[in-house]
Amino acid sequence: MKVGVIGTGSVGRTLAARLAELGHGVTIGTRDPAATKARTEPDAMGNPPFASWHAEHPDVPLGTFAQAAEHGEIVLNATGGSGSIDALTLAGAENLRGKVLLDIANPLDFSQGFPPFLWVKDTDSLGEQIQRAFPDARVVKSLNTMTAALMANPSQLADADHSAFVSGNDADAKATVTALLRSLGHTDVIDLGDITTARGSEMLMPIWLRLFGALGTPIFNFKIVR
């Protein structure tokens, strides 16, 4: 499958590398490829410069947001939530039309330090905002409730049978995302319902962040026992 990844941070890099390893044709997109390649300092989250990662993954082409979206049969939004709609606008509505848009972002506001707070919740979600902004895309919210390493490879936990959630209005799009998740190793994928249910998975982030602080590691996940 051709996959376009929007965003070159740790989530985008981790998923792009794993999907390429599984044999998918992946293009990763950024706002300004030349500037992204030229950076020599770690980013705001402490990730090594993109050029270092790219040297280890030369099979993943770097392009603009629009080039990545045009390439993908499925498009992954792996940008920071506050910049997601802007990035997807640059990707181009025409490049998203009819495609499955897997939204992994969370609406986190770091303006008051750590832990961040949600700038949308309860009566709306980032997933819904993206679906409204791009009505011809088939938005599915998923993978936003775990760290990037577990998104890409859930078996990094001894008990790999932890839970992933999907929310979206299009049943076929959710089936496509579920199949992709299963190829990554996710065995417990729970369909929460339409895109409004993304409110619930996004609102897991406050407890996830407190667990991260309490446990001292992001390598954990939720498991729904029933």
Q: How far apart are CA 219 and CA 149, in angstroms?
A: 8
Domain span at 209: 2-215
Residue 159 in tokens? 């008990």
Residue 158's pLDDT is 84
| Cα 20 to Cα 178: distance, rounded to the nearest angstrom | 18
**Is residue 22 in a domain?**
yes
Token pair 């897997």 is found at: 102
Among 122, 215, 103, smallest CA distance to 165 is for 103
Nearest Cα neighbor of 130 from 176, 163, 165, 91 is 91
| Overall domain count for the chain | 1
Report the CATH number that the domain containing residue 74 is assigned in CATH: 3.40.50.720
Query: d(Cα 92, Cα 74) in Å, to the nearest integer?
Result: 14
pLDDT at 195: 98
pLDDT tens-place values along the chain, 226 residues long = 999 999 999 999 999 999 999 999 999 999 999 999 999 888 777 889 999 999 999 999 999 999 999 999 999 999 999 999 999 999 999 999 999 999 999 999 999 988 999 999 999 999 999 999 999 999 999 999 999 999 999 999 988 899 999 999 999 999 999 999 999 999 999 999 999 999 999 999 999 999 999 999 999 999 999 9
Q: What is the pLDDT of residue 41?
A: 87
Evaluate whether residue 8 is within a structural domain: yes
Gyration radius from the chain CA atoms: 16
Residue 146 lies in a domain: yes
Instruction: State pLDDT tens for residues 135-151.
Output: 999 999 999 999 999 99
pLDDT, position 42? 84
Residue 226 domain-assigned? no
Closest residue by Cα to residue 160 from 181, 188, 180 = 188
What pLDDT was estimated at residue 43? 78
